[in-house]
């Protein structure tokens, strides 16, 4: 990833091409640092030096600095006066409670609205659930006999499929601001995986709970749908608090 090796899109003016290339580079650096935060290679409390990261990613310090400013807004990193950036500590019990409170408010509202579009939603939600089941199967296959503990590389596809199931419902609510609010929680939802390394332990429960939500949509029972989503989020919060 070298910021000196960029090409201009066909037909773009040099000025516009430079802006696009710089934005793409910054986003690539952001994703690379985010990966380090979520896979555990940059553990909570560790320092994030701009120059070392620039050398590691083979870029200039500028896109690294810009990416760290972005990450500071997510709460994943913090800036300490005269000491630079550090990986934020794990979510506290209070923060976890607030996160699940917010998810409950947002996602129960989403299922109520998505229920009005259940006929259109169901095919897409069935696909999302099938992809989640497949991702869980792939994790089990990679782990073989189950003796090796899971790592982030094992769980990446599974985490993405899990969250995509929820986003499929939220998008079906038909409110762009609701969707934006949910997507803004994405890094925090992944961050709770850092806080409680329970991923492999609750795969069966999560799949079963998602299947129940899908069945509730199929039944057309809106009260069942609301209670099923509330029960799922409550169960996840409990598992996190027990394992965290």
Residue ranges per structural domain of the chain? 14-87, 93-243
Res 155: pLDDT? 77
Nearest to 58 by CA among 123, 2, 140, 130: 2
C-alpha–C-alpha distance, residues 21 and 32, integer Å: 16
DSSP codes, 19-43: HHHHHHHHHHHHHHHHHHHHHTSS-
Q: pLDDT digits over 172-187, tens only?
A: 999 999 999 998 887 7
Q: Is the pLDDT of residue 6 over 80?
A: no
Q: pLDDT digits over 102-129, tens only?
A: 999 999 999 999 999 999 999 999 999 9
In CATH, what number does 14-87 get? 1.10.10.10
Q: Is the pLDDT of residue 21 over 80?
A: no
93-243 shares the fold of 14-87: no
pLDDT band at 51 (very low <50, low <70, confident <90, very high): very high
Res 231: pLDDT? 97
Nearest to 198 by CA among 142, 230, 241: 241
HSE value, Cβ hemisphere, 13 Å, CA-based, for 152: 16
The model carries a pTM of 0.76
C-alpha–C-alpha distance, residues 97 and 15, integer Å: 47
Nearest to 162 by CA among 114, 206, 220, 195: 206
Task: State mean pLDDT over 165-170.
Answer: 97
Q: Is the pLDDT of residue 87 over 70?
A: yes
Res 4: pLDDT? 47
The CATH topology of domain 93-243 is: 1.20.120
HSE value, Cβ hemisphere, 13 Å, CA-based, for 59: 25
Res 19: pLDDT? 64
Greater confidence, 37 or 101?
101
Q: Is the dihedral of CA 87, 88, 93, 96 positive or negative?
A: negative
C-alpha–C-alpha distance, residues 178 and 185, integer Å: 11
Instruction: Answer for the pair 93, 241: CB distance below 8 angstroms, yes or no.
Output: yes
Task: State mean pLDDT over 182-208.
Answer: 74
**Mean pLDDT estimate for the chain:** 84
């Amino acid at each position: 990833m070298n910021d000196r090796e960029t090409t201009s899109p066909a037909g773009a003016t040099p000025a516009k091409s430079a802006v696009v290339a710089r934005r793409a580079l910054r986003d690539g650096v952001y994703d690379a640092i985010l990966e380090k935060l979520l896979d555990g290679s940059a553990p909570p409390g560790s320092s994030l030096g701009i120059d070392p990261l620039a050398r590691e990613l083979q870029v200039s310090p500028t896109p690294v600095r810009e990416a760290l400013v972005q990450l500071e807004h997510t709460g994943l990193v913090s800036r300490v006066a005269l000491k630079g950036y550090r990986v934020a500590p794990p979510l506290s019990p209070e923060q976890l409670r607030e996160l699940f409170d917010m998810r409950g408010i947002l996602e129960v509202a989403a299922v109520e609205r998505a229920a009005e579009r259940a006929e259109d939603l169901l095919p897409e939600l069935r696909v999302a659930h099938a992809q989640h089941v497949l991702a869980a199967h792939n994790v089990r296959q990679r782990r073989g006999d189950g003796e090796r503990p899971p790592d982030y590389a094992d769980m990446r596809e599974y985490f993405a499929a899990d969250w995509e199931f929820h986003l499929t419902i939220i998008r079906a609510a038909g409110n762009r601001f609701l969707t934006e609010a949910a997507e803004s929680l994405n890094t925090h939802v992944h961050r709770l995986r850092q806080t409680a390394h329970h991923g492999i332990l609750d795969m069966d429960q999560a799949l079963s709970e998602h299947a129940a939500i899908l069945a509730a949509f199929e039944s057309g029972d809106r009260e069942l749908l609301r209670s099923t989503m509330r029960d799922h989020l409550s169960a996840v919060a409990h598992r996190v608090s027990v394992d965290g």
